[in-house]
């Protein structure tokens, strides 16, 4: 009597493993997209700490007009230094020379090097964020300015960082977060309070 042929029907465990593999690959793909978005500023954490993104990347002509700004002068504060009694590094000085000449693309790599090497020195990071906004690299500008606003301790750039961060968010059609940043500017009662109030008023009139 010939032996019975073995069944070639796949075991249920094979299907389970295949399904698990699909879920795992999909999860890695989604996490990679979010991580890349966080790195470029396309995704970010809101005030509640939740990962979110702008409602749209396309700003209306009216929003683009509100997002425009004149580059802040340098120095924004007197004698910016990384630490007491220490002169700023040569890379920073060279970067700011390009900035003052409106050569923002050439300023970016120099300011980035300084910001990476001296994260507690807020001046290069602030102007790096401004340079990114001015060269239409808005997500990167948003990312750098968020770091400035989040810096703890004495932070002479906090008010201006919130203000220009709002400008970048308007350019990304993220008006709720832009309004939140402007409210923080107003709460600080600094030199940009009046300008922030006017910008809030204009945002409220947008369709």
Tokens of 22: 């699909």
List the CATH number of the domain containing 178: 1.25.40.10
* Residue 172, domain member (yes or no): yes
- Smallest CA-to-CA distance from 99 within 88, 90, 110 is with 110
Rounded to 10°, the helix 138-150/12-40 angle is 80
Residue 42 lies in a domain: no
Instruction: Report pLDDT digits (tens) over 91-150.
Output: 999 999 999 999 999 999 999 999 999 998 999 999 999 999 999 999 999 999 999 999
Q: Which residues contact 45 (CB under 8 A, 6 or more apart)?
A: 51, 52
pLDDT score recorded for residue 155: 93
Q: Judge whether 68 lies within some domain.
A: yes
Asked, for residue 26, whether it belongs to a domain, the answer is no
Question: What residues contact 66, with CB distance under 8 A and at least 6 apart?
Answer: 167, 170, 199, 202, 203, 206
| Number of other CB atoms surrounding residue 110 within 10 Å | 23
Lowest mean pLDDT among 12-21, 24-33, 77-86, 178-187: 24-33
- Domain encompassing residue 162: 57-204
Q: What is the pTM of this model?
A: 0.73
Number of domains in the chain: 1
Check residue 34 and give its pLDDT: 46
Average the pLDDT over 19-44 and give the result. 54
- Tens of pLDDT along 51-67? 555 444 667 889 999 99
Residues 6+ apart with CB under 8 A from 47: 180
- For residue 137, tell me if it sits in a domain: yes
- Residue 69 falls inside a structural domain: yes
40 located within any domain: no
**Rounded to whole angstroms, how far apart are CA atoms 45 and 161?**
16
Does 127 fall in a domain?
Answer: yes
User: Do residues 174 and 141 lie in contact, with contact meaning Cβ atoms separated by under 8 Å?
Assistant: no
Question: In this model, does residue 35 exceed pLDDT 60?
Answer: no
């Amino acid at each position: 009597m010939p032996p019975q042929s073995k069944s070639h029907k796949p075991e249920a465990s094979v299907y389970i493993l295949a399904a698990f593999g699909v879920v795992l690959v999909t999860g890695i793909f989604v996490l990679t997209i979010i991580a890349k978005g966080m790195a470029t500023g396309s995704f970010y954490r809101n005030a509640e700490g939740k990962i979110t993104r702008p409602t749209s990347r396309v700003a209306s002509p009216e929003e683009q007009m509100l997002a425009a700004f004149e580059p802040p002068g340098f120095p924004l504060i007197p004698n910016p230094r990384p630490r007491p009694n220490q002169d700023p590094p040569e890379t920073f000085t060279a970067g700011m020379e390009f900035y003052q000449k409106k050569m923002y693309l050439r300023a970016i790599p120099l300011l980035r090097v300084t910001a990476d090497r001296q994260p507690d020195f807020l001046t290069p990071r602030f102007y790096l964020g401004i340079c990114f906004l001015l060269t239409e690299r808005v997500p990167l500008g948003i990312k750098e300015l968020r770091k400035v606003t989040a810096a703890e301790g004495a932070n002479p750039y906090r008010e201006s960082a919130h203000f220009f961060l709002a400008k970048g968010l308007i350019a990304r059609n993220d008006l709720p977060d832009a309004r939140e940043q402007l409210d923080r500017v107003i709460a600080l009662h600094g030199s940009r309070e009046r300008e922030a109030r006017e910008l809030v008023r204009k945002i409220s009139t947008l369709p």
